[in-house]
Amino acid sequence: MTKHRIRQELTILDGGMGREILRMGAPFGQPEWSALCLMKTPHLVKRAHESFAQAGCHVLTTSNYAVVPFHIGKDRFDNEGTGLTRLAGQLAREVAAVHDCRVAGSIPPLYGSYRPDLFNPEGAQLPLQKITAALEPFVDFWLGETISSIAEVEVIAKALPKDNRERWYSFTLQDGLVDLVHGGCLRSGELIKDGVAAAVDHGASAVLFNCSQPEVMAPAVETAVQQAQKLGAKLRVGVYANAFPPMPKDSQANSSLSEIRDDLDPNGYLQFAGAWKDLGATIIGGCCGIGPEHIKLLRQNLVST
């Protein structure tokens, strides 16, 4: 990796919306998970956005992660999915307008987080098109989240509108020991460098890594930076890790609330984030269990202005 990398100003993302609305007292149960808050108490979604904006983030991500058939059921998604997704976009846009933030349109995993074995390319196109159409009036760019396999990148890319908005693709990684030779793997077992190459092929302006342990992120950042240089791609690299223990391969997505690690308080998370920035990450935020207090410390310590 070159030692003379051009530094870009850091973009601070928001944190984990699900845990923040839960902390505010939102209804929270399975299988609907955070979608229940949009259905029953959308004012708490807006309040959570405001908490992250006040903490200093530059980007708010729409809170439609669980508005997919996997969580709310196919019939409800067919009947209510567009309205709920539009509401998520509208709430993020309202807060962003006040706090001068950008809005990322969340493209969530359709078949559960961490489960590339459940992904169905043929069945994904129509739900993804429905999500993007509902979000389109409200978002500044697109963010494919918690992508477990290269096949998901390809399907998401086909479903996105043919417009000039940036495309950010964010991969979730295998937790635990990292294969330092290859820089780690996606949940599918595919190599990170191949995931980065696929994202570049499909128009990525940024590749990120999310909803995995902080410990696996540094090798991923280094691999992504090296691969972007090898490909000659103008690509930003980012991280928003979670505060969970390692997730097994057969984890049932959101079947229960995962524990939050005690060592990932704001100061503990900041230490990881500083290392990611040093390795070339120019986009940093938080995923599940990372709250406004974490984001505030990132903004105060990692951003020059």
């820089």: which residue's tokens? 183
pLDDT digits (tens, 9 = 90+) for 118-173: 999 999 999 999 999 999 999 999 999 999 999 999 999 999 999 999 999 999 99
Range of the domain at 231: 11-302
Percent of the chain with pLDDT over 70: 91
Q: What is the CATH number of the domain that holds 265?
A: 3.20.20.330
Neighbour count for residue 225 (Cβ, 10 Å)? 22
- Distances from the Cα of 253 to the Cα of 65, 71, 109, angstroms: 12, 9, 10
Domain count, the chain: 1
pTM of the model: 0.92
Radius of gyration of the chain (CA): 17
Mean local confidence (pLDDT), 47-72: 97
Of 164 and 253, more confident: 164
Any domain includes 135: yes
Task: Give the model's pLDDT for residue 268.
Answer: 96
Task: Give the model's pLDDT for residue 182.
Answer: 63
Percent of the chain with pLDDT over 90: 84
Any domain includes 274: yes
Task: Using the predicted structure, report yes or no on whether residue 305 has a pLDDT greater than 70.
Answer: no
Any domain includes 278: yes
* pLDDT, mean over the chain: 92
Task: Give the model's pLDDT for residue 176.
Answer: 77
Q: Sorting pLDDT into bands at 50, 70 and 90, what band is 60? A: very high
pLDDT digits (tens, 9 = 90+) for 165-192: 999 999 999 987 666 656 679 999 999 9
Any domain includes 3: no
Task: Using the predicted structure, report yes or no on whether residue 292 has a pLDDT greater than 90.
Answer: yes
Any domain includes 75: yes
Determine the Cα–Cα distance for residues 106 and 165; give it in Å rounded to an integer: 13
Ordered strands of the 102-107 beta sheet: 11-12, 283-286, 236-241, 204-210, 167-171, 141-147, 102-107, 59-61
Any domain includes 47: yes
Task: Give the model's pLDDT for residue 6.
Answer: 41
pLDDT digits (tens, 9 = 90+) for 262-288: 899 999 999 999 999 999 999 999 999
Task: Using the predicted structure, report yes or no on whether residue 3 has a pLDDT greater than 50.
Answer: no
Any domain includes 126: yes
Any domain includes 6: no
Q: Sorting pLDDT into bands at 50, 70 and 90, what band is 249? A: low
Contact 146, 170 (CB under 8 A): yes
Q: Sorting pLDDT into bands at 50, 70 and 90, what band is 304? A: confident
